[in-house]
Structure 1
Amino acid sequence: MSNQLLDEMISRISKFASIFGISRSELKVYAFLLLNGKSTARDISEKLEMSYTKVYSILARLEGRGWIIKIARRPTLYEAVPVKEVWVNIKGVISAKLEQLERDFIEPLSTFTFSSPYTVIIVPSKDIISAMREYLSESSQRYLIAISYPELLAEQVVELIKANSVKGDTKLIISKSIPFPDIPSIKIKKIDSMFGSGVITSSSMLLIVKSGETLLGLSSSHNYFIEIATVYFNHLWETH
């Protein structure tokens, strides 16, 4: 492939690559090795018309990224790692950077802004059943439901659980002491006891606990609360 054709190919992806700190020169050297096979630093320097010092520095960075491998011989040969393996590596780096951005910037910032996309709401006793119906009526890929208090099984709640069992991944954990109709489409496990009740969807969670004879609820769209609730639910599901 001529340098002109190589430059045209690199130009199409260099803007995207630069977002992740990948230089045009790095792309050019990697593409050269990918297309031409094993080469020495000197050969790359001559064919790409780059200084030997610059090529050597680029090869060191590419090796550090895991894009190329060095074959120990005299002179040293460099070989490109298959492009699909490199892409898996890039996706891993992107994912790690995004997680770091969320952890170090988005989450801390959200605690100081009034326009936070996350909500935590206290649900009073009189609104518990309504909140359950609202959560069970959400459009969601999953519905994880825990029932430890018989007063939560209002007729509309049962009907919504039944309806969700045929349109999404619906799992129900219920205390053994609470009667529940036999509905074949519902994945159900009965256990002796658990902490509280609730509903977890793809984007929100509702926790219900009892203080004396009073039911209290907490609802949230915060990813951390959803994840904690999901981990606890899955633990109960897998151990019973």
Structure 2
Amino acid sequence: MEDNPVDELLSRVSRFASILGISRTDLKIYSFLLLEGQMSARELSEKMGISYTKIYTILGKLEEKGWIRRIGKKPAFYEAIPLRDLWANVKKTIEVKINEFEKDFIEPLSSMLSTSSTYSITMIPPSKLKSTIFEILDSSNKIMIAVSFPEILETDILELIKVKSYNSDIKLILQNDMQINNLSGVNTRKLQSMFGSGIITSSAVLLIIKNADKLSGLFSNHKYIVDIASVYFNHLWEQAK
């Protein structure tokens, strides 16, 4: 067997073969058997200058992968499967590897991207603020509310808060100068002053600001923004009385 042409060929394909778990030496042994015909492990060891132990290990690996077959016993002879069968075997292995990669990497990553893409940060104009307040109040059974603008608590919003309080965990912080009646059953505290207002649930936050006597909002369901808002609310809750 001419070494140089085979070595040159192996150099070109060995990097690709490594993806399939096949080393350059594995390829060389398969090529040797394909070109020279069947032989025993001892003969291969002597002709290729590779230790018998290593040859025997590689032959077992190639046989397990279906690249060669064993014939007889004591001594066993080995022969390479035809190239056409080898290529069918390789294509099947590639397909398995691709499916594994898709399952172990692509699908989880796609799921993460899909989840992250559902996060949003949205400006809420004055015209849509009230409906957004209703939506966020109605979406959770654990709600934290901080109110520094009394006009937020219109009658129908107050009524929803009271109704929700029967089966929800609601904490409400009001600014000291605010007088709100008929909030029995709602866990309420007061604080000297607050910057802005907000409503926080376990999955969303609505920050309410006032500009030129008009209320508008900033809505987000981003986990980290919700977490930060929750920590800040709990800090205010500890200060409130």
Letter in 1 for 2:148: S
Q: Secondary structure at the match of 1:172?
A: strand
Letter in 1 for 2:170: T
Letter in 2 for 1:129: K
Offset of 1:183 from its aligned partner? 2.6
Distance in 2, Cα, partners of 1:206 & 1:231: 15
Partner of 1:128: 129
- Tell me if 1:217 matches 2:217: yes
Partner of 2:190: 190
Q: Secondary structure at the match of 2:194?
A: coil
Deviations 1:197-240 (A, max 9, x none): 11111211100011232222110110011011101110000112
Alpha carbons 1:133, 1:156 under 8 Å: kept? no
Residues 174-185 of structure 1 mapped to structure 2, 5 A cutoff: 174-185=174-185
Distance in 2, Cα, partners of 1:135 & 1:168: 13
Residues 15-34 of structure 1 mapped to structure 2, 5 A cutoff: none
Structure 1 or 2: more helix by fraction: 2
Deviations 1:137-171 (A, max 9, x none): 11x23010111101111111101110111111100
* Structure 1: gaps of 5 or more residues: 1-104
* Structure 2: gaps of 5 or more residues: 1-108
Q: Secondary structure at the match of 1:190?
A: strand
Partner of 1:207: 207
Partner of 1:51: none
Distance in 2, Cα, partners of 1:165 & 1:201: 14
Offset of 1:115 from its aligned partner? 7.3
Q: Secondary structure at the match of 2:117?
A: coil
What's the Cα RMSD here?
A: 2.5
Aligned residue pairs, count: 133
Distance in 2, Cα, partners of 1:220 & 1:115: 12
Distance in 1, Cα, partners of 2:125 & 2:154: 17
Letter in 2 for 1:141: N
Share of identical aligned residues, percent? 41
When Rg is computed on C-alpha atoms for both structures, the one with the higher figure is 2
TM-score (norm 1): 0.51
Distance in 1, Cα, partners of 2:116 & 2:235: 34
Distance 1:118 1:183, change over 3 A: same
Q: Secondary structure at the match of 1:167?
A: coil
Q: Secondary structure at the match of 2:166?
A: coil
Distance in 1, Cα, partners of 2:116 & 2:239: 40
- Tell me if 1:157 matches 2:157: yes
Offset of 1:190 from its aligned partner? 1.1
